[in-house]
Amino acid sequence: MRKREKVEIMIREAIPADAKDIIAFSKKTGAETPYLAYGAEGLELSEAFEELYLEDLMEKDNNVMLIATINNKQLIGLASVGATDKPKLRHVGEVGITVEKDYWGFGIGSVLMEEIETWAIESGVIRRLELTVHGGNERAIHLYEKMGYQQEAVMPRAMLIDGEFIDGVMMSLMID
């Protein structure tokens, strides 16, 4: 019989010291799934740039990056909200989420999406969360619909993957 290992999953805001792990995470997950905007090359950012980016992010009231770790070490999930400073648009947050493949199906994506919604409500600024998902990404679409996101539009040719055009599904959640 395989020995069961007790693991502790923690979710917290990313800090500049996480930059290196976030870049490595983007490379690993980019290679694991066709559903991200990048592939095995990951975010293609230097550690110094990512550190500054995270420092800047911590000052903003309409942006956040949350990370899920195992035993307070290994990064296994990440969810973010990005928004501009422009007064007419600063209430619109674009959501991104990734969980490492080995950990799919354990509810980590659901917890991260709940935390994103709670953060958005508490921000007092974000009134609309939106995202565009690969039309074939049934797992993600199911997750978003479970969280109350509505499909708003199907965008033909929103992505080009291995020479094939893919529909993008635009989804959103109003924060009231």
Ligand X SMILES: CC(C)(COP(=O)(O)OP(=O)(O)OC[C@H]1O[C@@H](n2cnc3c(N)ncnc32)[C@H](O)[C@@H]1OP(=O)(O)O)[C@@H](O)C(=O)NCCC(=O)NCCS
Residues that bind ligand X (CB under 6 A): 33, 35-36, 97-99, 104-110, 131, 133, 137-140, 142-143, 146
Question: Minimum CB separation from ligand X for residue 41, in Å?
Answer: 16
Q: Which is nearer to ligand X, 107 or 124 (CB)?
A: 107
φ, ψ for residue 53, nearest 5 deg: -60, -45
Q: Which is nearer to ligand X, 33 or 69 (CB)?
A: 33
Q: Work out the end-to-end distance of the chain between its first and last CA atoms, rounded to an integer number of angstroms.
A: 50
Tokens (6 digits) for 95: 């959501």
Question: Minimum CB separation from ligand X for residue 108, in Å?
Answer: 4
Q: Which is nearer to ligand X, 124 or 146 (CB)?
A: 146
SS3 letters across 91-126:
CEEEEEEEECHHHCCCCHHHHHHHHHHHHHHHHCCC
φ, ψ for residue 99, nearest 5 deg: -120, 140
- Residues β-bridged to residue 160: 165
Q: Which is nearer to ligand X, 16 or 82 (CB)?
A: 82
Give the separation between CA 101 and CA 46, rounded to whole angstroms: 24
Question: Minimum CB separation from ligand X for residue 96, in Å?
Answer: 7
Question: Minimum CB separation from ligand X for residue 128, in Å?
Answer: 16
Whose CB is nearest to ligand X?
109
